[in-house]
Structure 1
Amino acid sequence: MQQAMNVQRQRLKLFALIAVFALPMLTAWVMVQWRIGIPAQRTAHGELAPDVPVLAEWPLEPRHASLDGGDWILAFDCSRDCRAEADRWWRMHRALGREAPRVSRLRIGGMPEALPGETVTQWRERPEWQQPGGIWLLDPEGRAVLSYAQGVSQRDVFDDLGHLLKRNPDRRAVTELDGERP
């Protein structure tokens, strides 16, 4: 009798151990299959921009070598209310704090004088993907990551840019560290 109870106790322990590892997997499978308990929040406020070509192919004049420095680029079309838009994005750039040197601003159109940290250029011709007042976040290789329509909240762009900078370490700092190794 004692032997039978001991065997049952051992089987119960084995079943409990299997359940500890199997139940989370079963729960995850149910959540994915039936979309139960999965948050529907968005992480990016902008729209993905697969149709926007790389920055080197944009019809801009003049072409600035300062944009090839490996920084993230906040490009914005400044065809309407340019002074206010340029100031708005300059203030957001300053709000990045210690991450600000990793970002360059590219103003397309508007007044010829540039604010600090800004490059000014003009459209040679308006591409079909361009939208008046549009804003684009470009990665260090010049690929458009996100695009925003005119009138987007400054906070939304700030949050997306902060998230991208956090998830993508500064390659210049990594290269410097690699160069210091014996």
Structure 2
Amino acid sequence: MGVATGPLDMSEGRPPRNRARGRLQLILILLVVIGPMILATGMYKLQFWVPEGRSYHGEMIGNGLGLADLGVQAPAERWQLLVSAPKDCNVDCQQLVYLARQINIGLGRDASRAGHALASGEPVSGAYLSRLESEYPQLQRYPLDATRYGAIAPNRSEAQLWIVDPHGNLVLRYDAKVKGKDVLNDLRHLLKLSNIG
């Protein structure tokens, strides 16, 4: 009886057909793992197969602009509904301020995660200021740098509503004709997805 003294080479006994099959399985496993990442990167970089549909109602900002770029120097601690008025707060601006407060209230138990604010390029009139102080005690007011605002804001002469995240990034923009329910749905969706603020 002879005893094997060297290492056992299993590949010698395996037929070439089994080796090819094993390599094919390895390649398929790698394709399943790495393939989706390559496809997703290609879709992002080359912009193909990107869905046209969207689930939000405003204009997505998504380019890294923040409050300072908009011309507002304000602390960002929670989500914010910011009304911007490049001049004084006219009828459209006043309607958006009212809408922002109603949306904030409409958040229900999540109302403490968001606030509402007004940034205007000119001081508001005395009559409207006293109304703000009595009817909108939670409203934050900030000055607006009209030069910086005009550089990035579309429709720079009109009042607009912005959703701002707790880091001060601009997320969504709406014009004065927006429906409150649409903004509320967008903000609820953002709050649901976010664990900040």
Determine if the alignment matches structure 1 residue 74 to structure 2 residue 93. Answer: no
Root-mean-square deviation (CA, aligned residues, Å) is 4.1
Give the letter for the 2:72 counterpart.
W
Gaps of 5+ in 2: 1-11
Query: Identity of aligned pairs, percent?
Result: 19
The structure with the larger Rg is: 2
TM-score, reference length from structure 2: 0.57
- Equivalent of 1:58, from 65, 68, 72? 72
Q: Any conservation in 1 of the 2:79–2:166 contact (CA below 8 Å)?
A: yes
Q: Any conservation in 2 of the 1:72–1:140 contact (CA below 8 Å)?
A: yes
Q: 1:176 aligns to what?
A: none
Q: Partner of 2:81: helix, strand, or coil? A: strand
Q: Residues 36-47 of structure 1: matches in 2 within 5 Å?
A: 37-42=49-54, 45-47=58-60
Q: Any conservation in 2 of the 1:107–1:118 contact (CA below 8 Å)?
A: no
Q: Any conservation in 2 of the 1:46–1:157 contact (CA below 8 Å)?
A: no
Gaps of 5+ in 1: 60-66, 172-182
Q: Any conservation in 1 of the 2:71–2:144 contact (CA below 8 Å)?
A: no
Q: 1:175 aligns to what?
A: none
TM-score, reference length from structure 1: 0.60
Q: Partner of 1:54: helix, strand, or coil? A: helix
Determine if the alignment matches structure 1 residue 94 to structure 2 residue 105. Answer: yes
Give the letter for the 1:58 counterpart.
V
Q: Residues 20-169 of structure 1: matches in 2 within 5 Å?
A: 20-23=29-32, 25-26=34-35, 29=38, 32=42, 37-42=49-54, 45-48=58-61, 53-54=67-68, 57-58=71-72, 68=75, 70-76=77-83, 77=85, 78-81=89-92, 84-108=95-119, 109=124, 111-112=128-129, 113-114=131-132, 115=135, 118-119=138-139, 121=141, 126-127=146-147, 128=150, 129=153, 130-169=156-195
The Cα shift of 1:30 comes to: 5.2
My pick for the range that moved more, 116-125 or 75-84, is 116-125
CA distance in 2, matches of 1:79, 1:52: 24
